[in-house]
A and B are shown apart, each in its own frame.
Chain A
Amino acid sequence: MSTQHSRTAARFMIAPATVLLLGWMLIPLCMTLYYSFRRYRLLTPDRTGWVGFRNYENFLTNPAFMDALTNTLALVLGVLIITVVLGVLLAILLDQPMFGQGIVRILVIAPFFVMPTVSALVWKNMFMNPVNGLFAYAAKAVGLQPYDFLSQAPLLSIIGIVSWQWLPFATLILLTAIQSLDSEQMEAAEMDGASPLSRFWFITLPHLSRAITVVILIQTIFLLSIFAEILVTTNGGPGTASTNLTYLVYAESLLNYDVGEGSAGGVIAIILANIVAIFLMRMIGKNLDA
């Protein structure tokens, strides 16, 4: 592939970025580790000292912990399923020649450019609000009781909002993958007597497997740490109904003023994320080998 010389040059040139990134990541990580073994409560900042694994114990036995864990998984899985399924369908749709294709494609990608906080607020106030929201308006127009999405189905609502944000990403990646599908293969399958559905199942889907893997891997990384959407819509509530691990860490550190326990939660979240990553790579990583 490359010569010894060009490899050395490449290493030399990425070195500054690597060092910067390492510092950026290592320092906070080390401080989190440090705090997770310290007593550090903002209400009593003068009482400090080493506490061993007490912070971890507290976090793991916190009744909210199991809820947060299941919520995190539900959030990740829900969004992944919705974005991958709808993404494949949308990509196929956008691949068809149609009038105004360019504009439609830009519109589909647009949600990705909206900041998470902004889009969550728009959803909360303009769509899901039980009094002023569009959904409530529509429900009233047909004579139904408005549904209070964020308090009656908080987690599902957040899954919906996050899916809306990530759908463009999935669609975009899958669309480029579909466009790289050799049209002669499709025609060959057509001549071989495959129905449109079989063609999708036997030709398109296998062709997309690598792109789907990429979408799942990248999205999982980001979905495990969803925070802004929860903060501005439900505040993790009602109760802990929409609290995920990230939000629980925040709640412990900055709402309960226990930075030590929050740090322990952060470390636990990192470990869990790595477990998920290992599982994912085991299960679907082989798709990435050419």
Chain B
Amino acid sequence: MGNITLKQITKSFGDVQVIPPLDLEINEGEFVVFVGPSGCGKSTLMRLIAGLEDVTSGSIEIDGRNATETSPAKRGLAMVFQSYALYPHMSVRKNIAFPLRMAGMSKEEQNAKVEAAASVLNLTDYLERRPGQLSGGQRQRVAIGRAIVREPAAFLFDEPLSNLDAALRVGMRMEISELHKKLATTMIYVTHDQVEAMTMADKIVVLQAGNIEQVGGPLELYHRPRNTFVAGFIGSPKMNLFSGEEATKLGGDTVGIRPEHLNVSTESGMWKGRVGVSEHLGSDTFLHVHDTGLTDLITVRVSGEMAVHHGDTIYLSPDMDKLHRFGADGLRLA
């Protein structure tokens, strides 16, 4: 239960092709995260899997059965929407019970399942309230509860945390991860927050303009980005990418080095630069370095505090084994 295979699916809105032919394999029990810049087609891809949009061509298989023409309800998938999409006139209990009621389940069974889901999600005290009387995080949990009770083959989450404040987001992130461990059900999760992607995913799918740029585990993407797009997209602060003479010297058309893999010295080093803005986070300091002759701006991450000032001269040297080399086509070399 919970295998999803996309074969050569495409999606066009009118003349505009939003998803060019795309193949993807999602295995049972996996936590798959779709990331990509805004408008790259993450939501569209998820809605295609859910059946809320028809594919223009290609096929979708769920658990080995062709589900391309199957209605959303019959695919056995549950979706948690960004706006939660709770039914405002129903109590929390009725919201969670709605899919069961639609399936024609008896009242007792419905209640038992709702209570069980509510206790998992800490909603027991709120069952008789309306969604309007709940906080954002509680609403989020109700939406998840409504998805859980159906015991779906897979969960689909479309940016479920983007309406929550930062602290709550961290909490809910953990809760969803916990839930995934507990239920061991396939989960597909859309986000443009790469911290969410890195921390939660078993497998990350990086999308750009509907194309899959790379599929892989979080660390694989971090250590071996397949091309310059993934290299620049995964990791925070962004990887420094430069081309030109220096890059050729180091063996690539474009060479990338992550801010955390640059060593800083005030006396000597491979590249000389001038300090611009420094961002002090306490645990780390991010230095913006200019005039290095590589690109306009090189970001450096230094552990702890670093006593440099705006305008100071600074020397940078990369960890040579942490360099990423890319060819003229943007693909990784070696």
Contact = CB atoms under 8 A, between A and B. Distances in A.
Contacts, number: 56
A195 B87 CA distance: 16
A189 B98 contact: yes
A206 B90 CA distance: 9
30 contacts: A182-B83, A182-B85, A184-B81, A184-B82, A184-B85, A185-B85, A185-B86, A185-B87, A188-B81, A188-B85, A188-B87, A188-B146, A189-B87, A190-B71, A190-B73, A191-B51, A191-B72, A191-B73, A191-B79, A192-B98, A192-B99, A193-B99, A193-B102, A194-B73, A195-B102, A198-B102, A202-B87, A206-B87, A207-B88, A209-B89
Interface of A: 182, 184-185, 187-195, 198, 202-203, 206-207, 209
B308 interface: no
A237 to B, nearest CB: 47
Contacts of A194: 73, 98, 102
A184 B46 CA distance: 14
Contact of A192 (B51, B52, B88, B146): B146
Interface string B65-97: 000000111000111011101111100000000
A191 B89 contact: no
A191 B78 contact: yes
B238 interface: no
B103 interface: yes
Interface in B77-133: 77-79, 81-83, 85-89, 98-99, 102-103
A181 to B, nearest CB: 10
A189 B101 CA distance: 11
A151 B85 CA distance: 53
Report which residue of A184, A185, A193, A194 has the largest number of chain B beta carbons within 10 angstroms of its beta carbon. Answer: A193
Binding site of A, secondary structure by majority: helix, strand, loop or mixed? helix
B81 A192 contact: no
Determine chain B's interface SS by DSSP, over half rule: loop
A191 B102 contact: no
B101 to A, nearest CB: 9
A177 B28 CA distance: 42
Contacts of B72: 187, 190-191
Interface size class of chain B, counting residues whose CB lies under 8 Å from the partner chain: 20 to 34
Contacts of A190: 52, 71-73
Contact of B73 (A185, A193, A203, A206): A193
B50 interface: yes
Contacts of B82: 184
B79 to A, nearest CB: 5
Given A189-B98, A193-B103, A202-B98, A184 B87 contact: no
Contact of B102 (A187, A192, A209): A192
B173 interface: no
Contacts of A185: 85-87
Give 4 closest A-B pairs by Cβ, nearest first.
A193-B73, A192-B99, A188-B85, A184-B85
Contact of A206 (B51, B83, B89, B99): B89
Nearest to B52: A187
Given A191-B52, A194-B102, A184 B73 contact: no
